[in-house]
Amino acid sequence: MYFKNSVAAVLLNALSASATWTAYQEFLSLQSKHTEKTLTRPKISYSPKQPYEDIPVSPARDRTCVVKSHNDFTTDDSEYIMDALKSCNKGGHVLFPQDQTYVIGTALDLTWLCEIDLEIRGYIQFSNDTDYWQKHGFYQTFQNATTFFQIGGSDVNIYGWGMMDGNGQGWYDLYASNEYVLRPILFGVIGLNVGYISQLYLRYSPQWYNFLANSSSVVYDSIDISGSSQSKNLAKNTDGWDTYRSKNVVIQNSYVNNGDDCIAFKPNSTEHLVQNMQCIGSHGISVGSLGQYKGETDIVENLYITNVSMTDSSNGFRVKVWSGAASALSGDLQGGGGTGRVNNITCEDMTVQNVDYGIEITQCYGQKDLKACNANPSSLKISNIHINNVRGHTTKKFSPISGYLVCSSEKTCSNIQLDDINLTSPNGTKNLFTCDKVDASLLHGIDCTTVNKGTS
Host domain of residue 377:
283-456
Same domain, 210 and 330: no
Is residue 261 situated within a structural domain?
no
Q: Which residues, in sequence order, are bridge partners of residue 348?
A: 306, 388
Is the pLDDT confidence value at 2 over 80?
A: no
Q: Output the pLDDT for position 5.
A: 45
For residue 19, pLDDT beyond 60: no
How far apart, in whole angstroms, are the C-alpha atoms of residue 381 and residue 301?
Answer: 11
d(CA 364, CA 382): 13
What pLDDT does residue 302 have? 99
| Least confident window among 164-178, 228-242, 327-341, 418-432 | 327-341
Are 113 and 229 found together in one domain?
A: yes
Decide if pLDDT at 17 tops 50. Answer: no
Distance CA 223, CA 277 (A): 10
Do 327 and 181 have their domain in common? no
Asked whether residue 180 falls in the same domain as residue 31, the answer is: yes
Instruction: Name the average pLDDT for the chain.
Output: 94
What is the set of active-site residues? 283
Query: Which of 243, 274, 305 is the last residue before a domain boundary?
Result: 243
Whether 8 and 120 map to the same domain: the answer is: yes
Task: Please identify, among 243, 275, 308, the residue that sits at the C-terminal boundary of a domain.
Answer: 243
pLDDT tens sequence across 30-75: 988 888 877 899 999 999 999 999 999 999 999 999 999 999 999 9
The β-bridge partners of 189 are 151, 212
Question: Do residue 384 and residue 325 come from a single domain?
Answer: yes
Q: Would 267 be classed as within a structural domain?
A: no
The CATH number linked to 2 is 2.160.20.10
- 125 and 4 in a single domain? The answer is yes
Q: pLDDT-based confidence at 3, cuts 50/70/90?
A: very low
Q: Rounded mean pLDDT of 332-345?
A: 90
Confirm whether 192 is domain-assigned: yes
Do 110 and 172 share a domain, yes or no? yes
- Confidence (pLDDT) at 1: 40
**Cα separation of 452 and 456, whole Å?**
12
Residue ranges with strand state E in 67-209: 92-96, 101-104, 108-120, 123-126, 138-139, 146-147, 149-159, 162-165, 184-185, 187-203
* Domain-embedded: residue 275: no
Question: Looking at the structure, do residues 220 and 288 belong to the same domain, yes or no?
Answer: no
For residue 274, being part of any structural domain is answered with: no
Answer whether 0.85 is exceeded by the pTM.
Answer: yes
Asked whether residue 324 falls in the same domain as residue 403, the answer is: yes
- Rounded to 5°, the CA angle 424-428-434 comes to 55
pLDDT of 11: 53
- pLDDT tens profile 79-96: 999 999 999 999 999 999
Q: Could you tell me if 95 and 122 are in contact, meaning their C-beta atoms sit under 8 angstroms apart?
A: no
Last residue of a domain, one of 214, 243, 272: 243
For residues 228 and 299, state if they share a domain: no
DSSP state of 399: T
pLDDT at 6: 45
53 domain-assigned = yes
Residues 194-211 have a mean pLDDT of 98
Q: Are 185 and 147 in contact (CB under 8 A)?
A: yes
pLDDT for res 4: 41
Residue-level pLDDT at 13: 53
Closest CA to 308 of 430, 418, 391: 391
Question: Tens digits of per-residue pLDDT, 126-171?
Answer: 999 999 999 999 999 888 899 999 999 999 999 999 999 999 999 9
> Residue 440 falls within a domain, yes or no?
yes
Condensed to tens digits (0 to 9), the pLDDT of residues 373-405 reads: 888 889 999 999 999 999 999 999 999 999 999
Q: How confident is residue 18, by pLDDT bands cut at 50, 70 and 90? A: low
Task: Tell me what pLDDT residue 20 has.
Answer: 67
pLDDT at 14 over 60: no
Q: Is the pLDDT of residue 10 over 50?
A: no
pLDDT at residue 7 tops 50: no
Task: Give how many domains the chain has, as a whole number.
Answer: 2
Question: pLDDT tens, 247-289?
Answer: 999 999 999 999 999 999 999 999 999 999 999 999 999 999 9
Contact indicator for 251, 228 with CB cutoff of 8 Å: no
Task: Say if 271 falls within a structural domain.
Answer: no
Residues 6 or more apart whose CB falls under 8 angstroms from that of 411 comprise 377
Task: Mark whether 233 and 352 lie in a shared domain.
Answer: no
The pLDDT of residue 180 is above 50: yes
